[in-house]
Structure 1
Amino acid sequence: MLFNSSSTEFLIVGLGNPGKKYEATHHNAGFMALDALAKELGVSVTRAKFDALTAPATIAGHKVLLLKPQTYMNLSGDAVYKAASFYKIPPQNVIVLYDDISLVPGRLRIRQKGSAGGHNGIKSIIAAIGDEFPRIKIGVGERRSGEADLADFVLAKFSKADGEAMTARFDDICAAVELIIKGDTATAMNRYNS
């Protein structure tokens, strides 16, 4: 697909829930990672557009739009669909950062495509644009037996140790995003799927 060089080529989506009460919760790992990427790029994800907060940026010579859906997790696909449709961005150029409860804090898993794995934000995006989009899963730990139910767990705040283990990987997430944009997802997977 040929792109207009003045147009946005990639969408980088961080998943989470808007609002103060959800800040620093397991389910907002995607928002936190996207904010770290924005900081590295010298931009702030604050412009309201497409039912999301957005920021234009450039990575590896490509124009990208950073996007934090403000629809709540279960409707994340609405914002992704609106932005991808507006810029005519194919699913292969939509990179999604999100929490994964099957991975220990600080573990990353990069995939070129796949199922939702029970994640409601990813289910919503798949329903909107299909499953052919690259994603970076960010380990947030799993609830132990006898702990709160799943909804309570994903909406709980990180412990200090778990939060530090996760945020320690933000540089790797930024590097992985750049590799994916350069068309080198295989290297990103080999290097960061630890």
Structure 2
Amino acid sequence: MFVLVGLGNPGPQYSLNRHNVGFMVVDTIAQSYPFNPFKTKFNAFIAEGKLGPHKVLLCKPITFMNRSGQALGALMNFYKIPVENLYVVHDDLDLTFGRLKLKQGGGSGGHNGLTSLDQSIGKDYWRLRIGIGHPGHASAVSNYVLSNFSGHEQKELIPMLTTIAELTPDLFGSDAGLWLNQYHQRLKP
């Protein structure tokens, strides 16, 4: 079994925020494949289903971003999921809007949601980093990540989310470079 977690903040006021792109990915996948409806368990919304041959749990922690590790630690322990079967989807300021990176392990890069996960379950999980761009100044970061995507970005966001969802069945156990190449090739203008 694999767990695919989208990081974000719960509540409608955050739903279109840049910081919630992880939730957006998970919601798009849940709508694109035959997943059970989300239910609340372990301080998270969880939906079970299959992607290709893989049984997958989709997860959206409702503990707020900075305490995501609380929900994930409980879920991973209950289902006995090895950390290398965890894929975390999150926003990344250091990548330009629309760029993706996929890697196993690493540091938090200042992302408080990842810091919480690292403290709870360790660092050996997979990270699907989704570029949201940077506001230019460190003092503007907090307001930037908690602001909605611009109108132009929202138009580009739908094909991004759709492409990620289409490629997700091939994500688990695949070569990260090949998977990313497929994504970026599909979104070329």
Decide: shared fold, TM above 0.5: yes
- Listed one character per residue, the Cα deviations across residues 30-61 of structure 1 (whole Å, up to 9, x for unaligned) are 00111001111133653000100110010121
In structure 1, the residue matched to 2:47 is 55
Q: Secondary structure at the match of 2:171?
A: helix
What aligned pairs does 1:95-174 form with structure 2 within 5 A after superposition? 95-145=87-137, 149-174=140-165
- Aligned twin of 1:3: none
The question of whether the paired residues in 2 share the 8 Å contact of 1:17 and 1:28 is answered with yes
The runs of 5 or more residues in structure 1 that have no matched partner are: 1-8
TM-score by length of 1: 0.87
**Which of 79, 83, 90 is the matching residue for 1:91?**
83
- Counting matched residue pairs gives 185
Distance 2:140 2:134 in 1: 11
Report the aligned-residue RMSD. Answer: 1.9
Residue 173 of structure 1 deviates from its aligned partner by 1.9
Moved more, 164-173 or 154-163: 164-173
1:192 equivalent in structure 2: 183
Distance in 2, Cα, partners of 1:45 & 1:144:
39
Q: Which residue of structure 1 lines up, in the alignment, with residue 30 of structure 2?
A: 38
Matches within 5 A, 1:11-26: 11-26=3-18
- Stretches of structure 2 that go unaligned for 5 or more consecutive residues are none
TM-score by length of 2: 0.89
Change in Cα spacing, 1:20 to 1:58, as seen in structure 2 (3 Å) is same
Residue 73 and residue 45 in structure 1: after superposition, are their counterparts in 2 closer, same or farther (change >3 A)? farther
Per-residue CA deviation, residues 139-170 of structure 1 (Å, 9 max, x unaligned), is 1121134x962111110011011122233212
AA in 2 matched with 1:109: K
Identity of aligned residues (%): 37
Q: Distance in 1 between matches of 2:16 and 2:158?
A: 11
